Structure 1
Amino acid sequence: MITVVIPLYNKASSINRAVASVLTQTIFDWEMVVVDDGSNDNGAELVEAFNDSRIRLFKQANAGVAAARNKGVELAKNDFLAFLDADDYWAPTHLENLQLLIMQYPRAALYGTAYFRVGGDGIAKKSEYRNRTGDQDQLLITDYFADVVEFGHFVFTSSVAIKRSWFMLVGGFPLGIKSGEDTLTFARLACAGEVAFSKLATSYYMLPPVAIGERQNYLRRPQCPDYVGIELIKLLEKTPRYKSSLRRYLAHWYRIRAMMFLELNERLYSFPELWKAIRFDRITLKDILCCFLLVLPLAIRRRALARIRKLRGRV
């Protein structure tokens, strides 16, 4: 059996779709734990209205998404944990896809599937991944960090499953982090054990809006000090077999922070992050573009960033 963990915070507009996508799974032997993290809307009542014995709702004071997921794991009755954010959803075969992956690679630390990114226009774009000739649909990832740097995050929180023992080994999702808690958790798992991947895209990630006006409501200021970066450096020091790719992964993280500061018009914070990225990796075309954007007026920069996001189809 698999326990589905859903953190819920002010997602009344989408929680019905998320829960309904679990109810339509081709596999019926699952349980769901929804952790309401101090919502101010009626999302919890919508969950209760499903009236399914496999669904349990737990309410707690607001403590953040990592604490909500960890609480769901604590309440779970099963060894394998699948995560679903309240604004995402699954295809009917998603749990079946994960189950086949678990059966083929029972000792893996992290299981994940390809997924679709869904924009505000409703268009779904499949995530990219390294597609070697002759690869089966289910495979082990040789170097998780190299693949993320080259293709972006080819798995994400709503497309993964983790065995409880591995989850506890890496300490669960770290608390007190505003963003990047999943980035760090997956990195720790990839250093600790194998990563199993399915090319079959069976989950859907709802992209934040790219429009300038709407985008500002979704931006979260990168945390200072950078806890995720500090912990990734510790992983780099402890995991020599991934030294090269982890350095590039760290640079990838710093570039994300640089772009976030850029969008927030905090250019004095953006440049140091960009400099860290170059120190760990090398100067890239993206770095040159970021430097160019740094000197543009705010209005022009935001329009340019919105255009770039739309063309790339990702955050």
Structure 2
Amino acid sequence: MNFFVVVPTLNAAEGWSRLTSLLLGSIAADRVLILDSSSTDETTSLAAVAGFRVHAIARSEFNHGGTRQLAAELLPDAEILVFLTQDIELAQPDAIHCLLEAFSEPSVAAAYGRQLPRRGATPVEAHARFYNYPAQSGVRTLSSREQLGFKAIFISNSFAAYRREALMAVGGFPRDVVFGEDTITAARLLLAGWKIAYVAEAKVYHSHSYTWKQEFRRYFDIGVLHHRESWMLNEFGGAGGEGSRFVRSELRYLWPRYWWLIPSALIHTAAKLLGYRFGRGENLFSISMKRRLSMNRLFWN
């Protein structure tokens, strides 16, 4: 199986060993493409020393969808494209090969692995990983929306792989999105009759501890995504029900062992909800205001 690993980077030198320690031991270096957004640290030199392919773009040109689509176009001979983010750590030497096993089924167009909480993660961020990435693998089809609703198109390009033929057949990654290029692509693939696999046996460490302001900005971007790509809500249902289930699960996880974190968790939930509603109503705001509200501020330039 001809595959390549793609890692978009920006000033990734500080966590370089965490990213590459197991990566270098599991696949050939020339199978890795570093797509760098004009880092000002040693990222590109470290990548070159490691033997990785390096392609640089202007920082202003970065887009979550467009940059990954560029990678797909730079690697026309790839059968499978594996995407990682610079802040992940492989939890096992064979994580990527384990993920690739999903493509032995010809109808699988995309697969994503299990994200475990990073070492030292807070209980709140650990719960988010346990909730979204369970221990059981599964394969989703378009009919999965009847049971899962919007969750049927859940996927994360922090650790995901795509059959290039299928990806290109649905138009590739959207080139100009503030957030959620993976979700849009997953929806298109299911609607086109492909399957998406969740491979719980392929594991990485990856989680974040966001402040309430960061949560607000992140969910503002999600709201913008859902406003602009409302067809996804029409096809797979709204995200409100899933959000309510997440909050109930989080409270059960925190009580009683981490009871003192519940007030903070509720504040974060309120910030998410408010940010999401502002994002859905983005037409009420000027570009300069949207830039201030967004986590991905360069998108609005």
TM above 0.5: yes
Mapped pair 1:74 → 2:64: no
Q: Residue 263 in 1 paired to residue 271 in 2?
A: yes
For residues 18-97 of structure 1, the aligned pairs below 5 Å read 18-25=19-26, 28=28, 31-50=31-50, 52=51, 55-62=52-59, 63-64=61-62, 65-76=64-75, 77-90=77-90, 91-97=92-98
Match for residue 237 of structure 2 among 227, 247, 252: 247
TM superposition score normalised by structure 1 = 0.64
- Map of 1:1-315 to 2, 5 A cutoff? 1-25=2-26, 28=28, 31-50=31-50, 52=51, 55-62=52-59, 63-64=61-62, 65-76=64-75, 77-90=77-90, 91-103=92-104, 105-118=105-118, 120-121=120-121, 127-128=130-131, 139-142=138-141, 145=145, 146-147=147-148, 153=154, 155-192=155-192, 193-205=194-206, 207-210=207-210, 216=214, 219-220=217-218, 222-223=220-221, 226-231=224-229, 233-235=230-232, 243=235, 246-249=236-239, 263=271, 271=277
Identity %: 22
Residues 207-228 of structure 1 deviation map (CA, whole Å, 9 limit, x = unaligned): 222456xx64994573599344
The structure that is helix-richer by fraction is 2
What is the RMSD computed on CA atoms of the aligned residues? 4.1
Counterpart AA for 2:224:
D
Runs of 5+ in structure 2 lacking a partner? 247-266, 282-301
Give the aligned residue type for 2:68.
R
User: Which stretches of structure 1, 4 residues or more, deviate above 6 A after TM superposition?
Assistant: 122-125, 129-132, 253-256, 272-275
Higher relative contact order (CA 8 A, sep 6+): 2
In 2, Cα distance between the equivalents of 1:58 and 1:274? 35
Gaps of 5+ in 1: 238-242, 276-315
Q: CA deviation at 1:111?
A: 1.5
Work out whether residues 4 and 30 of structure 1, in 8 Å CA contact, stay in contact via their aligned partners in 2. Answer: no
On the 8 A contact 1:15/1:47 being kept in 2, the answer is no
The 1:251–1:274 alpha-carbon spacing in structure 2 relative to 1, beyond 3 Å, is farther
